[in-house]
Amino acid sequence: MAHILIVDDVAALAEQYAYDLRRLADHETTVATSGAEALEQVAEVPADCIILDLEMPGMDGFAVLRALEEAGVSIPVIVYTGTGDFDRCMRAVRLGAFSFIDKSEPMQRVVREVEMALEHGSLREEVATLRARLRGPELLGTSAVMQTLRDQIARLAPIPSSVLILGESGSGKELVARALHEQSDRDGPFVAINAGALPDSLVESELFGHERGAFTGADKVHRGAFERAAGGTLFLDEIGELESGIQARLLRALEAREVTRLGGEKPISVTARVVAATHRDLDQDAQDGRFRTDLLYRLNTHVLRVPPLRDRKSDIPELAAALLGGICKSFGMKARRLSDDALAALMNAEWRRNNVRELRTVLERMVIASDDAVIDVDALPAEFEVPVSGGSSFAEQKVEAERGIVLRALEAHDWRITETAASLGLADHASLLKIMRRLGILGGWGGGGAAGSARPWRGGAGRRHPSAASKKPRKWNHAPASHKRPLGEAADVEYGR
């Protein structure tokens, strides 16, 4: 038994439909005599199907459809009319209605339409469930930099324009691209192409497709990635590796929103959203003539920067647990975990080669090297480099990682407390000051100025900040201000320091 909502300003007609649906199909029914009342009912108790009159005073059926779409409500709607104007009905279908009927049609027809609408809604839910099950690994981590990245993804997901993802090798750029796709309303597939892994001779055919006989060995038509990603997302990884001729064709595809297969003449419309990624400095490549400046401008309308693992070490426990679980499952082994010493060693590592990909490789080798349920530090690969930590515990390593994140953020904002708190996703400057005290960053410095106007320690030449009084000088993992990349400075959304 389903819940059907009938919306009609003629109460007697709405009640008659409700009665007949209960009598003929045993559905639960409710009635609304205005568009506003219908939206209130849907907000309180969502219906399984709505029968909606198009011609109502005040908020008509079209306004109700638009309101449902804006609210993200996906209930199947059957519109009906007594005017015989089926052009208006088709307009309603384009706005998202499932189907339409005439008020003069027999009730048996109405029941059939309702059953088909209910089946359609059920199938949509099933597809959504299957998509959720088929999703790849999620973006893990509770660090401030990862929360900022998630917020940026959520803002960009519904926007159809191109996105450029920047980040080191193995940092998770494809996961970010998949998150953009999954959080969008695109019905098409996610198609990934690694430009750096394809020989130049195949890139053009793989991207744009080819007709039969286009070249030696082309014995059948091949649909390119732009076609296969129709209505979805085309992810172009390592886009900085494309040679200049392919860059020109890609620019044409983005500007004209159409492609032509090799050996073909008919243009094919491009409906895929393009998300590109690279570990290269494309600004420098453009200056050196390796990458087209006009293509760079077209791609970096919106820029996302994926942080390297060394800048979010507080996420390593969660990442390691998830990766270790997946490795054990794929090997057909019982679940295992890391000892505190092993986890501390991972937290203390530099992670300068392949980031999360390197972490996964290290964990896989540790699983193979150890037979114990709790994997200890002696299972680490022999060549795995861990800086000397003076016997620091896991808890101390975690605090040190947090301290590094906060200090880098403070330095990036010239120790302006309010600005730094906002960049870290904290509620206010008081929250940041509390964290700074816990991490020992404030030390003897009281930050005597007003919130938001604090400055770093100015103790004179050769003197260190009080928080560092008992510590050895450190080399922080960031470039001097004069070396910051200009890429994306004018972009709407950018991830970075």
363 with 256, same domain: the answer is no
pLDDT the model gives residue 394: 63
Give the model confidence (pLDDT) of 86-134 as tens digits.
788 888 888 889 999 988 889 999 999 999 999 888 887 777 656 555 5
291 with 249, same domain: the answer is yes
201 with 239, same domain: the answer is yes
Q: Strands 273-278, 233-237: parallel, antiparallel or unpaired by DSSP?
A: parallel
pLDDT the model gives residue 130: 61
What's the rounded Cα separation, in Å, for the pair 405 and 100? Answer: 57
Of 112, 133, 154, the residue at which a domain comes to its end is 133
pTM over the 0.85 mark: no
What's the rounded Cα separation, in Å, for the pair 161 and 301? Answer: 7
Give the model confidence (pLDDT) of 343-384 as tens digits.
988 988 888 888 999 999 999 999 998 888 899 988 888 777
pLDDT the model gives residue 385: 62
DSSP states of 95-155: TT-SEEEETTS-HHHHHHHHHHHHHHHHHHHHHHHHHHHH--------SHHHHHHHHHHHH
CATH number (domain holding residue 315): 1.10.8.60
Q: What is the CA radius of gyration of the chain?
A: 29
**In this structure, how many other beta carbons lie within 10 angstroms of the beta carbon of residue 136?**
10
Q: Which domain holds residue 241?
A: 144-308
Segments in 331-385 forming alpha helices (H) = 340-348, 355-369
Phi/psi for 165 (5° steps) reads -105, 125
Give the model confidence (pLDDT) of 179-199 as tens digits.
999 888 888 889 998 988 887
First to last CA, the chain: 55
Tell me, what DSSP letter sits at residue 215? S
Within 8 A by CB and 6+ apart from 230, the residues are: 188, 271, 272
328 with 285, same domain: the answer is no
Q: Is residue 180 part of a domain?
A: yes
**In this structure, how many other beta carbons lie within 10 angstroms of the beta carbon of residue 285?**
16
